[in-house]
Structures are given as structure tokens and as C-alpha cells.
Chains A and B, each alone.
Chain A
């Protein structure tokens, strides 16, 4: 096999018998980056009964899939996965290594980066190649966008949330190699995942909702939050949140929209009692119509929406819900 100069590697993740969408999305992005670098895409796939899924990664743009299919790889074991991935990266020396911002990706990425003594950027919202072939990693910060690079250490590592990049076109005529990984035998685990329990998420799923109502710190308390929840309910909308709402315990982390939460693309977005901080707003990609309700006419959110309502949400939202209910009857 001829050695190629550079490679872009991706951690592919599967759950419930399918490749996670975020993994396909980053394979698609890796394909673009690799084309610019004149290099190849390698995807790492670990699990039990996952061999059939490898072809999907090739269809999404991977040139090779490094495949570990074994009982010992289910459920996810941090130390074993780290060992396998670090060894692969040391062997193939890719320029870039991308992971999804899943719970697994967020734990594995720093374990791998620290072992390889390289840099790592969290929750990127864009990835570009600069003139010197270096990966520019964009994240929102301080009311703007910052660019982070890892100039010397390799691989350049980043995590990316689901929905940041588009689903790639799957081309089943793509040809690639599926390369089995030599798995370490009898690997001692100091930390062992005993089981992974999936409890069904409630309500309208945010990722697929065409209408999203999001609430923020302006709800002020649990009562105010419940009023916004009612609005979401009568509109049959997904109900999202900002970080302070999660911090206050009004809602679960799973509902948080933004850079370190969910990336959503509804037709209609209504932001209630939230300031329009970029870390939240970057999570609403490509919304068609955007509306904000905030009692401060100077709130930055009013520069980022189509319609603004300067009102106290605690009086406006109940009035809106009442009128909506009447017109529904």
C-alpha cells in the first residue's frame, strides 16, 4: 500500500444498530478537508456487530474504515477505546482527527489528546483549511467568533456537534478499504461501563421540530418557565433552552440549544427572555423566521431576529397563550 502524505481521521460512532448522524456529517466534512489537502479520509468504527455499518462510512466519503468488531467493545469502554485509537493514530499519523460532541466523543477526545500531547478544540462550528494547510477551528466567544489553530502538534483535534455540518450525500458506489484492527487481548479496565440505559426523550424532538420556542433567564422562575412551556405546547413546538435555564434547574441539559448544546434548524424560532448571546444563537442554524420577546429594547437578540416584541414575557406570554387558545376553539 502506498503511503499517503496526510490523512484526515474521524471517530465514527454507532448506536442502536446505526451510525450516528453526527458521524456521517463529520465524515462528509473530513472528505472536503481531505480533498483540499490532497489526502485521504480514515474512519474508526468500534463496537459489537458493526461490520455491516462500515460500508455506510465509505458511502459518506471515507477511503478506509478501521474496524473493531468484538464483544469486548460493547458497551463503550473509555480506556480500551483510548488505547485502540491512540495506537491507530500513532501508526497512521493523520494531520487531523475529528470526533462528534457526543457523550462518548466528549470523554474520549481529551483522553486521546492528552496521551498524544496535542491540542483539542471543543464544539467547533466551522472548520477550514488555511493557506498553509493548517486547520482553522472556529468557535463563538466573547460576543464574536474566534479562530483557534494548533500550529505544531499533531493531529489537530476538534469535536463537532450534530447538525453543524450537513448530512453528506451517500454514494453506495464509492469504493474503500475495510481494515480490521488488531484488538488488545485481556485489557485490564480500571473504569468499566456496566450498562448504558436509554430513557426515551420526551416531547417534540428539537432536531426535527419545524417550530421551536426557546426560553432563557428572563423567565425568572419556575412559574415563568411553565408559561413559556405552555406556549410551546399550544404551538406544538419543540421547547429549547439557554444555559442559565438549565443552571436554574428549570429544564434538562438535553434541551439546551447552542454551541455546547443542540444545533437546530427550525422554520420558525421564538426566543423568549433570552439575550441573544452568540453561544446560544449559533445553535439556530438556517431558521427561516425568527422572533424574540425581551423586555429590554437594547438586548442584542433584537439585532438577530426578524420580529421583536419589547414586553415582559411574564405578561406577554400568558396573553399570547390565551388568545391562541381562544382562536383554536
Chain B
């Protein structure tokens, strides 16, 4: 049986993006309740695991580090077909950069036991460093391929995958256990089903805190992060805008004049 871990991040709902703007006065982020959604690329990571499970004997564990409401995202993944959920939640984990995040996730993966494959998204929509997957691999001493867009061969413990590369792709052979970070071209995630939601009720979600992981507090969260944010500034606008007035056709004609005047457009 393949033991698969899928790392899933709960990210701010893009519809709440307005709430996540630097306050011009305090120069910090206003605290507000922002609803969380599954990081879009992580639903592709989960789908990759589910696809394997459809054809092979596999057990899928969701691993998510986040505040308690992130538990809903873990539940959603169970309803989509994962077998078990682990939520890493502790105030001490807050403020983690990619390094501390990957360290904490790696410690949880070790504690959870045998693992053959770890799927991550290529990037999170809010952090978007792309670092967490490869750093987990380093902490667990596993090989990694980033930006996987196709699984070509997955028989046995040597897989062949295709991954994004400049103006094309690269083909890579990788020995399991391994970490793969995935792009959205890998698959098409399926929608939630009612029976999935019913089945998920019986599945377990474990919550682990700092004590459960048994790691020193100075290794996690803000304290365990080599990088810190020292300053936030709001950018002031740099251009004086002219809003074109008139009917649609008048605007079209005016715009074409502007294009002509730019000297770079042949119209």
C-alpha cells in the first residue's frame, strides 16, 4: 500500500482580498475575520493522490498547519476522498516563514510514520514562495521534483514525471519515497459529492500542537523563522490619470488617437 501525504494550506478567500491591505495609518495589516479556502493548487495535489487511490491501494493523509478554522479545509479534503486529516494548530506556530513551516510539517510527517509520497502544491496563493515542498524534502532527506505537470510512469518505486521548465518541460526519474509539487496542468480536481460528505463524517481529524510534536518552541513559528518582515509601506500612485469621457464610440476613437500618438502602434 502507498502511504500518501498531501500538504494542504488554508488561504484567505480571494473575495476577501480587500480586507488584506496595509492600513495607511498604522502601516500594518488590519485584523479582521477573513474566511479561509483551500489553496487552489493544493486541490490539484489532493486530486493527484486520489487518482492514485482509484487505481491502487493507497492511504491518503491530509496535513495542514493553520489556525483552528483551517480544520474546515481538512474536513473538505476528507469529503473529497482523503482518509485521515491532521491539523497542526498552536499559537506558537503563528508567523512561520517557509523554513519554519516546512520544518513543522516535516516533524509532523515523521511523527505520523511510514510515507511513500508527499504531494504539495507548487505554490500557495498567499505566500507563493514555492519553498515549502523542497524544504520539507530536505528536512526528510527525500528527493523532490517541483512543478510536476504529468505523471508518465508510476509503477514500482521509480517514477517518471514531467515538470515545467523554460519554454518546455523536463522529464525526470525519481525514486520513492519522494516529494512532488504540482501545477494546475496535472489534473482536473473533482467536485464535492454528497456521499463523500456523508462518508467524511466517520473519518478522523487529529489535532497536534507543539507538545504533541515534541519540538523546541524556538524552532517553530516566528521564533523559528530565519526571515522577518521589518517594514510595510503603501505605494502611492505615481501617475495622473485621464479618464476618457463620451459615448463608447467616442472613447474608441479617442483611444485610437492615443495609440497613434504613442508612435509604437501602426494604426
Tell me the A residues contacting B by CB distance below 8 Å. 15, 75-76, 78-79, 102-103, 106-107, 109-111, 113-115, 117-122, 136, 140-153, 190-201, 210-211, 235-236, 246-247, 249, 253-254, 260, 267-268, 278, 288-291, 297, 302-311, 315-316, 319-320, 323-324, 327-328
Chain A CB within 8 A of B89 CB? no
Interface-located stretch among B48-56, B80-88, B199-207, B236-244: B236-244
A304 touches B238 (CB 8 A): yes
Give A200 to B167 CA distance when docked, in angstroms. 6
B169 touches A197 (CB 8 A): yes
Chain A CB within 8 A of B32 CB? no
A198 touches B99 (CB 8 A): no
Interface-located stretch among B70-78, B109-117, B171-179, B208-216: B171-179
B147 touches A103 (CB 8 A): yes
**Chain B residues whose C-beta falls within 8 Å of the C-beta of A142 in the assembled complex:** 20-22, 29, 232
Known contacts A140-B235, A235-B265, then 7 further A-B pairs from the complex at CB < 8 Å, ordered by chain A residue? A110-B135, A118-B226, A191-B144, A193-B170, A304-B238, A307-B258, A323-B252
B255 touches A309 (CB 8 A): yes
Give A327 to B253 CA distance when docked, in angstroms. 11
**Chain A residues whose C-beta falls within 8 Å of the C-beta of B231 in the assembled complex:** 146-147
A149 touches B227 (CB 8 A): yes
Give A106 to B170 CA distance when docked, in angstroms. 14
Closest to B100 in A: A119
**Chain B residues whose C-beta falls within 8 Å of the C-beta of A247 in the assembled complex:** 40, 184
Chain A CB within 8 A of B217 CB? no
User: On chain B, which size bracket covers the interface?
Assistant: 35 or more
Of B171, B244, B259, the residue contacting A308 (CB under 8 A) is B244
B131 touches A113 (CB 8 A): yes
A291 touches B226 (CB 8 A): no
Chain A CB within 8 A of B164 CB? yes
**A107-B134, A111-B144, A144-B235 in contact; A307/B244 too (CB < 8 A)?**
yes
**Chain A residues whose C-beta falls within 8 Å of the C-beta of B172 in the assembled complex:** 191-194
**Chain A residues whose C-beta falls within 8 Å of the C-beta of B239 in the assembled complex:** 290, 303-306
Give A152 to B228 CA distance when docked, in angstroms. 10
A119 touches B99 (CB 8 A): yes
B262 touches A191 (CB 8 A): no
**Chain B residues whose C-beta falls within 8 Å of the C-beta of A201 in the assembled complex:** 167
Chain A CB within 8 A of B1 CB? no
**Chain B residues whose C-beta falls within 8 Å of the C-beta of A315 in the assembled complex:** 248
- Name the interface residues of B216-267: CB closer than 8 Å to any CB of A: 225-235, 237-244, 248-249, 251-253, 255-256, 258-259, 262-267
Of B97, B137, B168, B173, the residue contacting A111 (CB under 8 A) is B137
Give A265 to B263 CA distance when docked, in angstroms. 16
**A120-B99, A122-B128, A148-B229 in contact; A253/B244 too (CB < 8 A)?**
no
Chain A CB within 8 A of B129 CB? yes
Give A289 to B263 CA distance when docked, in angstroms. 11
Residue with the greatest number of chain B CB neighbours at <10 A, chosen from A103, A151, A302 = A103
**Chain A residues whose C-beta falls within 8 Å of the C-beta of B264 in the assembled complex:** 210-211, 267-268
**Chain B residues whose C-beta falls within 8 Å of the C-beta of A302 in the assembled complex:** 241, 243
Give A106 to B166 CA distance when docked, in angstroms. 12
Residue with the greatest number of chain A CB neighbours at <10 A, chosen from B102, B169, B253 = B169
**A103-B166, A201-B167, A260-B123 in contact; A235/B259 too (CB < 8 A)?**
yes
- Name the interface residues of B141-170: CB closer than 8 Å to any CB of A: 142-147, 160, 163-170
**A117-B226, A307-B244 in contact; A198/B168 too (CB < 8 A)?**
yes
Residue with the greatest number of chain A CB neighbours at <10 A, chosen from B160, B232, B241 = B241
Give A311 to B247 CA distance when docked, in angstroms. 10
Give A169 to B118 CA distance when docked, in angstroms. 45
A144 touches B232 (CB 8 A): yes
B168 touches A196 (CB 8 A): yes
Of B132, B173, B226, the residue contacting A150 (CB under 8 A) is B226
30 pairs across A/B with beta carbons < 8 Å? A78-B145, A106-B130, A106-B146, A110-B129, A110-B132, A111-B135, A113-B131, A114-B134, A120-B99, A122-B128, A141-B232, A142-B21, A142-B22, A146-B229, A147-B231, A147-B232, A148-B227, A150-B227, A152-B226, A190-B174, A192-B172, A196-B165, A201-B167, A247-B40, A253-B183, A268-B264, A306-B241, A307-B241, A308-B243, A319-B252
